[in-house]
Amino acid sequence: MRLCEGRVAIVTGAGRGVGRAHAMMLAAHGARVIVNDLGATLQGDGNDPTPAAAVVDLIRKNGGDAVANGDDVSNWEGARRLVAHAVDTYGGLDVLVNNAGILRDRFLTNMTEDEWDAVVKVHLKGTFAPMRHAIDHWRARHKLTGEPVNARIINTTSISGLFGNPSQANYGAAKAGVAALTIIAARELGRLGVTCNAISPFAMTRMTEGLGQITPEQRRLGDPANNSPVVAWLASTDSQDITGRIFRIGSGFVSVMEGWENGPRFDPIDDAAALGAVIRTHIAKARKNTGPKGTPLD
């Protein structure tokens, strides 16, 4: 069963890794895919049209329909051109998968302003900008027909943003922002018939290749394509009632993440000197923050 027959999908950062797998699977399910990739290095430098072109060639060899796009999604005009490319080529847009990203890991004591700005720009602005231009297209469609547009936004967050990871303050903060942006967009866009969800993928890609020795089993579980079935289903018309959710895709499991909840509470106290004992009492009652394995952090 082809879930996305005839739908038009943009996948950013689709030249390699997880994005490439998304593009391939969406095409296999009948979507017409705009394969966006600037072709930059892992640190975000330079550009190369080869990766995106290679994915397009493979999709076409497999009988699918795709075009390459090399716009920078973290640039406002680049994001606008990307959405216009989809509309001009295929007559519309139904699915936006925001996946593009870079890494510049460093502990806070050594992180530079440029390292912070570059990562936040690609991950957070590079998610917002395509969303904003896609929303313009969907609002116009909705205004023209008066009908829900049945469109999809699928963002990419990370366990670094959901749980925190030392040496990734820039990346984790951006990915936490993506998770919040996803929930807010879901609440705002439902009236148009647009859903917004996110995945936190697990994969062995060039972003994780420095983790050390990888066993064959870890490599199997870390195949980027393991993340794409969730994306293909969320991109389909079947998922119209699912929005504002974060899906963590781990090493052999998928989890529907649950957001922040109120913990132990107390009445306000005006006396700051007396407040410490009360706060300590309630912190002792609260569940500890957990790490990505679900175990409490020290």
61 is catalytic: no
Q: Is residue 125 flagged as an active site residue?
A: no
Return all residues near 164 (Cβ < 8 A) that are at least 6 apart. 172, 289
Of the candidates 74, 90, 121, 158, the residue annotated as catalytic is 158
Catalytic residue among 74, 171, 228, 239: 171
Q: Is 171 a catalytic residue?
A: yes
Query: Active site residue: 160, 175, 200, 228, which one?
Result: 175
CB neighbour burial string for 198-212, b if at least 16 within 10 angstroms, e if fewer: bbbbbbbbebeeeee
Say how far apart CA 163 and CA 43 lie, in whole Å. Answer: 23
Residue-wise DSSP of the chain? --TTTT-EEEEETTTSHHHHHHHHHHHHTT-EEEEE-----TTS----SHHHHHHHHHHHHTT-EEEEE---TTSHHHHHHHHHHHHHHHS---EEE--------B-TTT--HHHHHHHHIIIIIHHHHHHHHHHHHHHHHHHHH-S---EEEEEE--HHHHT--TTBHHHHHHHHHHHHHHHHHHHHHGGGTEEEEEEE----STTTGGG----HHHHHHT-GGGGHHHHHHHHSGGGTT--S-EEEE-SS-EEE-------S-----S-HHHHHHHHHHHHHHSPPPB-TTSPBP-
CB 229 within 8 A of CB 162: no
- Residues taking part in catalysis: 158, 171, 175
